[in-house]
A = this chain, B = another copy of it.
Amino acid sequence: MKTDIEIAQSVHLQPITNVVEKLGIDFDDLELYGKYKAKLTFDKIKAVEENAPGKLVLVTAINPTPAGEGKSTITIGLADALNKIGKKTMIAIREPSLGPVMGIKGGAAGGGYAQVLPMEDINLHFTGDMHAITTANNALSALIDNHLHQGNELGIDQRRIIWKRVVDLNDRALRHVTVGLGSPVNGIPREDGFDITVASEIMAILCLATDMEDLKERLANIVIGYRFDRSPVYVRDLEVQGALALILKEAIKPNLVQTIYGTPAFVHGGPFANIAHGCNSVLATSTALRLADYTITEAGFGADLGAEKFLDIKTPNLPTSPDAVVIVATIRALKMNGGVAKDALNQENVEAVKAGFANLARHVENMRKYGVPVVVAINEFITDTENEIAILRDLCAAIDVPVALASVWANGADGGLDLAETLVKTIDSTPANYKRLYDNNLTIEEKITKIAREIYRADKVIFEKKAKTQIAQMVKNDWDNLPICMAKTQYSFSDDPKLLGAPTGFDITIRELVPKLGAGFIVALTGNVMTMPGLPKTPAALNMDVAADGTALGLF
């Protein structure tokens, strides 16, 4: 069997200029990065702003399991299939971080015959967006430390700086550091830490900004820490939002690439789906909507985290709301949700499919609360049995949700035709009537409680003392009318990663809140969220190489 990189390197790519011609994009609308990657110019983004948006399809999933669901693969394969049945379709998905690439074998550009290409570039430096974000983030850190060193005119309390540095690598040794050591000429000593770049608030900002002015405004609003009197210090107090925006002036432009089947794809931005909202950029999705009849986009993790945030945080910034939500599941993952261990997944287990279906059913119900029609996509595996598939079809019928099998990993566009047709039929027959889950004018406690009860199905929310103090402070700072970005385990509806399926009878505990004024939301943490991964005992880097002619080897 061919590996992903072997499949990718066997494809004859078209120049990106040809791929986007059918969307009405000319050579002069592009800033090429090699022959197969390009950024779209601001002029073109502006020029199509008045176009009526096409249909928007959000791809999400059940709670992730170690069995794997293949959400990106389905997103890409579905778009390829839609193009094949004559619908002018674009993809808008996230770009991967280099950190995990060096750590664990496995890319983030789809898989098998459903990939965006050139996958080596997309998984390495791509068009430099991550590097620009890293640089802007760390320039701000350097400017903060320089401000302290040069006399601290703003009276920043160095113990209460919440802005951390970042690198786009998995590097556990940088999680907790002390800086400014060694001598008075080396600045003011203080504790600090590094997150991975995708966890930077600047990544979330880049993905929510609607244009350059909005970007600058959001950067200016970042809270970097507090004064000795606990009043907040903003980037605008340091007057460096212009410089940060300048560093990001290319990164904000959406990147264009192609799938194996030549479907044009925006691959742009990639914030975390726990401490941030987990979706590709608003600019990419908005522009795709104005260029194509169908835009297929994706949200991080399961629907309880990613889709909730897509619908409550990202959608209000888009020119339209989703016309359908596709929920991806696999028979294997349903079985895991039904209690089967990973090493027993290859055996038929109809009862486990039934039990695990509770997880899928609850996500379907949740998505319907937003007034959007739902389609279930089953990402086929060779180990799926006829009996298992039959019971799943029955269960879907019972809750009246259309279901389609997809084998895009193995069969590419052809493997997605059923799903594409089911989706088009659903959209054509069931008009969406989008509404948000909560009103931003509710209190912070009310908003969190609404998400926890209606999406997670918790009995109640427990706010720890620290969280209560922080909420009071946020009310005082007039920050309480922002949406909530929940940071919770992706593995369960609850805040306990071990409670699979559709748990009930649990509480959600809010330990801490973090203001992300630039992104425009308040993060509510239910536990410790890992914002800097580590490398495994045998990092994937050990297998990597490059041939004398520059060909990437051993990447995936």
Contacts and interface: CB of A to CB of B under 8 A. Distances in A.
B544 A243 contact: yes
A554 to B, nearest CB: 7
A457 B33 CA distance: 50
Contact of A175 (B31, B128, B186, B535): B186
Interface string A140-176: 0111011001110000000000000001111111111
A176 B186 contact: yes
B34 A31 contact: yes
A477 interface: no
A24 to B, nearest CB: 20
A541 B246 CA distance: 9
Interface residues of A, number: 79
A400 interface: no
Interface in A497-556: 534-535, 537, 539, 541-550, 552-555
Interface of A: 31-35, 42-43, 98, 102, 124-125, 128, 131-132, 134-135, 138-139, 141-143, 145-146, 149-151, 167-183, 185-188, 211-213, 216, 239-240, 242-243, 245-247, 249-250, 253, 534-535, 537, 539, 541-550, 552-555
A263 to B, nearest CB: 23
A176 B172 contact: no
A245 B549 CA distance: 12
Contact of A173 (B102, B132, B149, B171): B149
A250 to B, nearest CB: 7
Contact of A240 (B32, B134, B186, B541): B541
Contacts of A243: 102, 541-542, 544-545
B176 A181 contact: yes
A88 to B, nearest CB: 27
B180 A211 contact: no
A188 B175 contact: no
